[in-house]
Chain A
Amino acid sequence: MPPPTPLSPPELSYLYTSLALSPPIRPDLRTSFQFRPIVAECSFLPHCNGSSRICMAEAGECIVGVKAEVEKDATSKYATVIERDKWIEVSVEVAGGGASGPGSGVGVGGISGAGGAAGKDEGDGGAAVWLKEGLLAGGAGILDRLVISKGWHWKLYIDVLLLTPTSHPPPLLLSAATNMALDSTFLPKLISPHDVDDIPAFSDDWGISVPLYEPSTFPRPPMSLPVIAVGDNVFLDPSVAEIAAAEVGLVVTLTLADAEGHCDIVGVRGMEVGRGGGKEGERKGISRKLLRQMVGACVREAGDVIKGLGESTRQQMFRA
Chain B
Amino acid sequence: MLTPRPTRQLPTSPGHHDLTSLNLHREYTLSTYTMAAKAPDRRRNNPPSHGTTLPVFLSTSSDVVKPAPPTRPPDEIRKIFLRTGLISSVTGSSFLEIAPLKLSVSVLGPRPLPRSASTPFAAQAILTTEVKFAPFASTVRRGYIRDSSERDLGSRLYQALVGAIRRDLYPKSRIEVVVTILDSEDEGDDVNTVCIDEDGRAVEPRFWDVGRAERALGVVLAGCITAASAALADAGIEMFDLVSGGVASVFADEDDAKGKGKAGVAQKRYIRDPAVAPPDGNTPLATCVLGYMAARDEISELWISGKLSTKGGTADMDELVDEAIAAAKSSRGVLNEAAKERVQFIVDKVQSQSTEDPSTTSGGKDVEMTG
Chain A contacts to B: CB under 8 angstroms = 1, 78-85, 109, 112-118, 121-122, 125-126, 128-129, 133, 137-140, 143, 150, 250, 257, 262-270, 272, 275, 278-279, 283-288, 291-292, 295-296, 299
Give bound CA distance, A116 to B307, whole Å. 29
* Residue among A122, A126, A283, A284 facing the most chain B CB atoms (10 A cut-off): A284
Cβ contact within 8 Å between B176 and A126: no
Contact of A121 among B151, B191, B308 (CB under 8 A): B151
Add 12 more A-B contacts to A121-B146, A270-B301, A287-B297 (CB < 8 A). Answer: A85-B192, A112-B155, A112-B156, A113-B159, A116-B157, A122-B148, A269-B304, A285-B291, A285-B296, A285-B299, A288-B322, A291-B299
Does chain A have a CB within 8 A of B223?
no
Take A138-B307, A265-B304 as given contacts and tell me if A288 and B297 are in contact as well, using a CB distance cutoff of 8 Å.
Answer: yes
Docked-complex contact B303 and A269, CB < 8 angstroms: yes
Binary flags per residue of B141-176, CB closer than 8 Å to A gives 1, else 0:
000001011011011111100111001100000001
User: Of the candidates B167, B302, B305, which one forms a contact with A250 in the assembled complex, judged by CB atoms under 8 Å apart?
Assistant: B302
* Shortest beta-carbon distance from B320 to chain A in Å: 10
Tally of B interface residues using CB under 8 Å: 69
Kindly provide the distance from the CB of B166 to the nearest chain A CB, expressed in whole angstroms: 10
> Shortest CB–CB separation between residue B217 and chain A, in angstroms?
10
Task: Decide if B317 touches A116 in the complex (CB within 8 Å).
Answer: no
> B2 an interface residue at 8 Å Cβ cutoff?
yes
- C-alpha gap A269/B241 in the complex (Å): 21
Assuming the contacts A266-B307, A270-B301, A285-B293, asked whether A292 and B146 have C-beta atoms less than 8 A apart, the reply is no
Q: Is the CB of B299 within 8 A of A286?
A: yes
Is B314 engaged at the interface, CB distance under 8 Å to the other chain? yes
How far, in Å, is A221 (CB) from chain B's closest CB? Answer: 14
| Complex contacts, B303 vs chain A, CB 8 Å | 112, 268-270
B210 within 8 A of A: yes
| A interface footprint on B210-236 (CB within 8 Å = 1, 0 otherwise) | 110110000000000000000000000
Contact (Cβ within 8 A) B321 A284: no
Report how far A267 CA is from B306 CA in the complex, Å: 6
B196 to chain A, nearest CB (A): 4
Contact between B155 and A126 (Cβ–Cβ < 8 Å)? yes
* B27 CB–A CB distance under 8 Å: no
Residues of A within 8 A of B366 (CB): none
Bound CA span A285–B295, Å: 12
Could you tell me if B193 and A285 are in contact, using CB atoms closer than 8 angstroms?
Answer: no
* A79: chain B residues within 8 A (beta carbon): 195-198
Q: Are B314 and A83 in contact (CB under 8 A)?
A: no
Q: Which 9 A-B pairs have the closest CB atoms?
A: A116-B158, A285-B298, A138-B307, A268-B304, A285-B300, A284-B163, A80-B196, A265-B308, A116-B129
Residues on A with beta carbons closer than 8 Å to the beta carbon of B297: 287-288
Please state if A262 and B311 are interface contacts (CB–CB under 8 Å). yes
Give the shortest distance, in Å, between A60 (CB) and chain B (any CB). Answer: 22
Decide if A115 touches B155 in the complex (CB within 8 Å): yes
Complex CA–CA separation, A279 to B124 (angstroms): 10
Q: Is A116 a contact of B159 with CB atoms below 8 Å? A: yes
Which residues from A are CB-within-8-Å of B124?
278
Any A CB within 8 A of the CB of B136: no
Give the chain A neighbours of B198 by CB distance below 8 A. Answer: 78-79
Q: Smallest Cβ distance from B110 to chain A, in angstroms?
A: 15
Verify if B81 is at the interface (C-beta below 8 Å from A). Answer: no
Given A1-B126, A116-B162, A268-B303 in contact, is the A81-B154 Cβ separation under 8 Å? no
Residues of chain B within 8 A (CB-CB) of A118 are 128-130, 154, 176
Judged by a CB distance under 8 angstroms, whether B280 is at the interface is no
Would A81 and B193 be within 8 Å (CB), given that A117-B151, A284-B241 are in contact?
A: yes
| Closest partner residue, chain B, to A302 (CB atom) | B310
